[in-house]
Amino acid sequence: MKDGTYQENVNVTKELYIMSENGYSSTTVVAANSGEDYVFEVLANNVTIDGFTTYGATAYWNSSGIALNGANFCTIKNNRCGLDATYQNWLGIILRHDSDNNTISNNIMNYNKCYGINIREGSDNNLVINNEMSNNGGGGHGGYGIQNCESSVSNIVRGNLIENNETWGVRIETAGINLGNNDINDMGNNTIRNNGSYDVYNKTSTTINAYYNKWGSNDGTTILTRVQRTNFNPWIEDPLPVEIQVFTASVKNNSVLLIWQTATEVNNYGFEIERLEIASLKSNIWEKIRFVSGNGNSNSPKLYEYLDRSVNSGKYLYRLKQIDIDGQFEYSETIEADLGIPSEFSLFQNYPNPFNPSTTIKYQIPDHIPNEIVTLKVFDILGNELATLVNETEQPGIHQVIFNGINNTSGVYYYRFSAGNFIETRKMILTK
């Protein structure tokens, strides 16, 4: 289906694969009117619905973004059912009337009036995996991440995020649900936390299995107050985040040395270093200058550093964008480095050196020498002039220019900086 917003109620009565062009961020289907039971209703077997945003089905308790009615062996994936507190369904996805052996995966069910997912009326042997069910409720009948009722054969729930729902995370009215076995090869691996009254509300007299899940706490006594008739031990320790203890910037030889240290790391892919020149603060455009790989998982301190040589005179802000392996990210505090106006002429060693094919040459002009003509030239080992990189009046401060030796052969070269009575020459090596 092409990108866009469609006001439809879609009945699927035969085997189909229905896929959006570019995913739920660009393809939305809204119920034609709120009195309808569904946005998508699946009445056939072997149907796939992939990559839509659905909302607007709000008439009563079974009005849903996607409904499976007597449908078997279907796949519902990569959809968003419910968008925010304004664009809702009564519930995100419902399986009813003996809808068996379906896979519900990688969907987001947020901000629906009551349920994220409702499995009911003899719907058995379904797999609910890697979904997010959060912030459901507000319709006057409570808010649940997932409800299982009138299903006697186990529905498997694995790897889901179930949090911040109004009343319960998981509501169980019949025992046909499994949240994880006491087996490291069949762990629940759900995150079930911060839901209203209970994270697991079990109305049956049967204790259900919910081993190896994350409960938002590493204390068994605390978890026990949040679940009913639930086997939850062993559970997965909630990981410590990437904790940055130290982040500093200091000026070293007209460059900025950044140093940071982590106390712990969990799933740390790495850090993007971002920089903003204060003189251009109004644009507020941060520049990504380097990526530094993280240490994945660590309970011991790790030290990182980076030398930013690509700066001139002025003040700069720096921050770290810490990125998890799953793509989530968080920004550090912002720190400042001040490269003031220099007090004397100077020519610095090029970097990198040796180089191939280009290198950066930096020089500085003091604040008490205004309107001085400066030149920067490159010579070969015989003294032949090859290039004039600078020949103009420049303001006081630190400056830099790039020399590209792509048309030159390997060997030793010299670059000479002159301004008034100041002359300095340095050597550089091109290696191809």
- Hey, where are the domains in the chain? 4-231, 243-339, 346-430
Which tokens in the block code for residue 162? 């179930």
Does residue 339 carry a pLDDT above 90? no
- Cα–Cα distances (Å) from 31 to 3, 64, 191, 335, 387, in that order, read 17, 9, 31, 49, 68
Superfamily name and number for 346-430: Macroglobulin (MG2) domain (2.60.40.1930)
Which tokens in the block code for residue 72? 């078997």
Other beta carbons within 10 Å of 350: 23
The predicted model gives 72-82 an average pLDDT of: 95
Half-sphere exposure of 166 (CA within 13 A, CB side): 16
Does residue 34 carry a pLDDT above 60? no
pLDDT of residue 370: 65
pLDDT of residue 35: 58
**Are 157 and 130 in contact, with CB atoms under 8 Å apart?**
no
Does residue 282 carry a pLDDT above 60? no
**Are 167 and 123 in contact, with CB atoms under 8 Å apart?**
no
Strongest mean pLDDT among 188-202, 325-339, 343-357, 396-410: 188-202
Does residue 1 carry a pLDDT above 90? no
Question: Same CATH fold, 346-430 and 243-339?
Answer: yes
pLDDT of residue 343: 79
For residue 105, what are the β-bridge partners? 77, 129
In percent, the amount of the chain with pLDDT more than 70 equals: 97
377 three-class SS: strand
pLDDT of residue 327: 80
pLDDT of residue 66: 97
Q: What angle do CA 2, 62, 58 make, to 5 degrees?
A: 60
- Residue 252: which pLDDT band, with cuts at 50, 70 and 90? confident
CA-wise closest residue to 95 among 137, 67, 53: 67
* CA distance linking residue 1 with residue 222, whole number of Å: 47
* CATH code 3.30.1330.20 for 4-231: no
pLDDT of residue 367: 78
pLDDT of residue 274: 94
Q: What is the mean pLDDT of the chain?
A: 90
**Are 430 and 404 in contact, with CB atoms under 8 Å apart?**
no
Query: Which is more confident, 184 or 283?
Result: 184
Which tokens in the block code for residue 358? 């280009």
CATH architecture of structural domain 243-339? Sandwich (2.60)
Does residue 267 carry a pLDDT above 90? no
Query: Which is more confident, 1 or 48?
Result: 48
- The per-residue pLDDT for range 285-307, each reduced to its tens digit, is 788 999 999 988 887 889 999 99
Question: What DSSP letter does each residue of 68-83 carry, written as one string?
Answer: EES--S-EEES-EE--
- Residue 18: which pLDDT band, with cuts at 50, 70 and 90? very high
Q: What is the pTM of this model?
A: 0.59
Does residue 149 carry a pLDDT above 90? no
Which strand (E) or helix (H) includes residue 220?
A: helix 220-224
The predicted model gives 213-218 an average pLDDT of: 89
Cis peptide before 354 (omega within 30 of 0): yes
**Sequence-separated contacts (24+) of 245-253 with Cβ below 8 Å:** 245/301, 247/320, 247/332, 247/333, 247/335, 248/335, 249/316, 249/318, 249/335, 249/336, 249/337, 250/337, 251/337, 251/338, 251/339, 252/307, 253/348
Does residue 283 carry a pLDDT above 60? no
